[in-house]
């Protein structure tokens, strides 16, 4: 059959077949591409709908809306319903956001692009946050014809932001607002209470650090939660409380008089008289409260807090577990403290400290048996600064550790020098602060200084206060190590602190030093005399050396000798002396004894 065809016709037929095959192949490829595009479109729509996004368009001429299908997930109504009911989406707007939504619409109708975040109420009463963007569309003449936009459900984003904000402005342990929130809160109050009084109560927990250190931080955290609950139970609806940091809390009272503030402070102190039970253990902590009043004690936030803090420290100084109002004299006191603090940081570096030495006398023989080293500080600008002023600051700043090392080293060095000059059997006593005593490197510091200076350990006596009784287990371990080193230990100011005879008789100490207040009372108070006699007798029974401090009269010496008190010191014998003055006194005493 093909043989009958002409060659030209056959060629055209082959070309036609090839063209048909090409078209079929192209159609198949087009179909495959359409399938891929459909699949990608479906995936896009699925992704678009999953993130709760919808498109919208507003026709200015007809005042009608068009919404994409995703709007049903956002508003809770389908797109057809919202498109045919123009006010339906407006009725879903959260009442407090209606005004700003209207302003948003007005801006768009003026031809300005705009963005807004607002809340809507779903048919199931759920509240959702939306972000809506709108872009005006103009015709060739510049007339507004449409507004196109996008709606995004940002509820989860807002929830996350709220959590972040809460974390930034609230204490994670107690759930209370923190100091950052307090400043925002106080700023708004001060602005709105121009002619009304506010009160700031700055509360610090007494002995909390001791409890936290001895029982552990988990125990301390539980105690802080219980403290928070007790403080909250003292407050009324409009009162505001924050955890300012550590064991510090601040309470803000509005529209109050000093009498009402005093009543609140007394209520708190009264509630804290009851113990706290943590993990089955009964513990006590009391509040020291400082109070500042707006506007008389400050017209800005920082001043009010600073002054309440200053008043709190005054409460600490006056025995703790009380409250004090801020007064102008505290400002001067704080100014002085700041000046001392600034100079104190450089005092050791500038060699401004010097040691004075007060003789310790064997009362029955009037023989010198030792000295107590006492620090003195002279600064060119401040003059002589009392230890009562700078030692608490050094303790607070942590400077007592390096200063204490210097005192110990210098006292040991001087004692060795005197022994080499012929001051036979002279011992030296050095006061050790509670912070030094608790320092992990304290024992090694003592050992190192004894080795450096060459002082025999039995010539060194360390004076510590009765506050060690607060953590008896830890204190006993430290004292045992000191005993092994060979140094002596004295309890200073005995009878004024936490002493327990049960603990005292089991501690490796050598000496008890009777506080000056009992010596002063010898000819004044029968009660003080009875206590003094009891202390001396108890000391002998426990085989402690008994030293009386603050002796000022011959009659006091006679009383102490008659009651077998072995050693004393005080102005009756001599005041604390410089190195030169002590050496002169020692030589004069030596000649007097020979005569």
Position 1 scores a pLDDT of 47
- Tell me the per-residue pLDDT of 276-301, one tens digit each, with 9 for 90 and over: 999 999 999 999 999 999 988 888 88
Percent of the chain at pLDDT > 70 equals 90
Region of 436 please: left (phi>0), alpha (psi -120 to 50) or beta.
alpha
- Scored b (16 or more CB within 10 A) or e, 564-591 reads ebbbbbbeebbebbeeeebeebbeebee
Position 5 scores a pLDDT of 52
d(CA 573, CA 563): 19
Rg over alpha carbons for the chain, rounded to the nearest Å, is: 42
Most trustworthy range by pLDDT among 83-97, 174-188, 307-321, 464-478: 307-321
- Tell me the per-residue pLDDT of 335-383, one tens digit each, with 9 for 90 and over: 788 888 889 999 999 999 999 999 999 999 999 999 999 999 999 999 9
Options 3.30.450.20, 3.30.1490.190, 1.10.150.530, 3.30.70.590; CATH for 53-159 is 3.30.450.20
d(CA 248, CA 203): 6
- Tell me the per-residue pLDDT of 259-281, one tens digit each, with 9 for 90 and over: 999 999 999 999 999 999 999 99
Q: Which residue has the higher pLDDT, 171 or 444?
A: 444
Would you say the CATH fold of 174-326 matches that of 53-159?
A: no
Question: What's the token pair of residue 80?
Answer: 């057809």
Question: Contact, 288 vs 316, CB < 8 A?
Answer: yes
Residue 54 has pLDDT above 80, yes or no: yes
Position 130 scores a pLDDT of 92
Position 261 scores a pLDDT of 95
Percent of the chain at pLDDT > 90 equals 48
Average pLDDT over residues 68-81: 80
- Tell me the per-residue pLDDT of 210-243, one tens digit each, with 9 for 90 and over: 888 888 889 999 999 999 999 999 998 889 999 9
Task: Return the domain boundaries, the chain.
Answer: 2-50, 53-159, 174-326, 350-594
Position 210 scores a pLDDT of 83
Options 3.30.70.270, 3.40.50.2300, 3.30.70.20, 2.60.40.10; CATH for 174-326 is 3.30.70.270
Residue 487 has pLDDT above 90, yes or no: yes
pLDDT class for 185, splitting at 50, 70, 90? Answer: confident
Average pLDDT over residues 409-417: 96
Predicted model pTM: 0.58
Residue 470 has pLDDT above 70, yes or no: no
Position 495 scores a pLDDT of 65
CA distances from 471 to 148, 214, 273, 467, 520 (A): 73, 6, 21, 8, 30
Find the range with the poorest average confidence among 191-195, 396-400, 435-439, 541-545: 191-195
Position 189 scores a pLDDT of 78
Question: What's the token pair of residue 308?
Answer: 């309440």
CATH number of 350-594: 3.20.20.450
Question: Contact, 214 vs 470, CB < 8 A?
Answer: yes
Q: What's the whole-number average pLDDT of the chain?
A: 86
Position 516 scores a pLDDT of 86
């Amino acid at each position: 059959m093909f043989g009958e065809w002409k060659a030209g016709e056959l060629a055209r037929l082959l070309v036609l077949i090839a063209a048909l095959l090409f078209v079929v192949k192209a159609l198949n490829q087009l179909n495959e591409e359409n399938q891929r595009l459909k699949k990608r479109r479906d995936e896009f729509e699925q992704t678009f709908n999953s993130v709760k996004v919808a498109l919208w368009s507003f026709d200015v001429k007809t005042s009608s809306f068009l919404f994409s299908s995703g709007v049903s997930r956002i508003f809770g109504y389908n797109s057809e319903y919202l498109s045919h009911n123009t006010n339906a989406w407006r009725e879903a707007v959260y009442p407090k956001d209606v005004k700003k939504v209207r302003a948003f619409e007005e801006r768009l109708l003026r031809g300005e692009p705009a963005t807004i975040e607002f809340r809507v109420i779903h048919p199931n009463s759920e509240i959702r946050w939306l972000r809506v963007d709108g872009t005006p569309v103009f015709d060739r003449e510049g007339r507004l014809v449409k507004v196109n936009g996008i709606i995004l459900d940002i509820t989860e984003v807002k929830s996350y932001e709220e959590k972040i904000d809460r974390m930034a402005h609230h204490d994670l342990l107690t759930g209370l607002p923190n100091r950052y929130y307090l400043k925002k809160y106080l700023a708004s109050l001060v602005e709105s209470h121009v002619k009304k009084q506010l009160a700031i109560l700055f509360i610090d927990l007494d002995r909390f650090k001791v409890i936290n250190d001895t029982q552990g931080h988990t125990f301390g955290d539980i105690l802080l939660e219980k403290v928070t609950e007790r403080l909250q139970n003292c407050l009324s609806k409009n009162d505001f409380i924050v955890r300012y940091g550590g064991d510090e809390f601040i309470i803000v009272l509005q529209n109050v008089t000093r009498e009402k503030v005093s009543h609140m402070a007394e209520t708190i102190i009264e509630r804290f008289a009851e113990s706290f039970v943590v993990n089955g253990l009964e513990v006590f902590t009391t509040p020291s409260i400082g109070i500042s009043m707006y506007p008389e004690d400050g017209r800005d936030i920082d001043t009010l807090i600073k002054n309440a803090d200053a008043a709190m420290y005054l409460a600490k100084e006056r025995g703790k577990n009380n409250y004090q109002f801020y007064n102008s004299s505290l400002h001067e006191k704080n100014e002085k403290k700041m000046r001392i603090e600034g100079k104190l940081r450089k005092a050791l570096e500038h060699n401004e400290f010097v040691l004075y030495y007060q003789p310790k006398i064997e009362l029955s023989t009037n023989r010198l048996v030792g000295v107590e080293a006492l620090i003195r500080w002279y600064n060119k600008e401040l003059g002589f600064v009392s230890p009562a002023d700078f030692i608490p600051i050094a303790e607070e700043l942590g400077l007592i550790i390096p200063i204490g090392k210097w005192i110990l080293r210098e006292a040991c060095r001087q004692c060795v020098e005197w022994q080499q000059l012929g001051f036979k059997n002279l011992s030296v006593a050095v006061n050790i602060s509670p912070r030094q005593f608790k320092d992990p490197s304290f024992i090694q510091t003592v050992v190192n200084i004894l080795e450096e200076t060459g002082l025999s350990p039995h010539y060194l006596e360390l004076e510590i206060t009765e506050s060690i009784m607060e953590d008896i287990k830890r204190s006993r371990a430290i004292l045992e190590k000191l005993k092994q080193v060979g140094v002596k230990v004295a309890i200073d100011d005995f009878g004024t602190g936490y002493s327990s005879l049960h603990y005292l008789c089991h501690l490796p100490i050598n000496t008890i030093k009777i506080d000056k207040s009992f010596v002063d009372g010898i000819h004044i108070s029968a009660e003080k005399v009875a206590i003094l006699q009891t202390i001396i007798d108890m000391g002998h029974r426990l085989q402690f050396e008994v030293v009386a401090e603050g002796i000022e009269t011959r009659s006091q010496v006679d009383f102490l000798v008659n009651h077998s008190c072995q050693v004393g010191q005080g102005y009756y014998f001599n005041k604390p002396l410089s190195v030169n003055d002590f050496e002169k006194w020692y030589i004069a005493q030596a000649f007097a004894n020979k005569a």
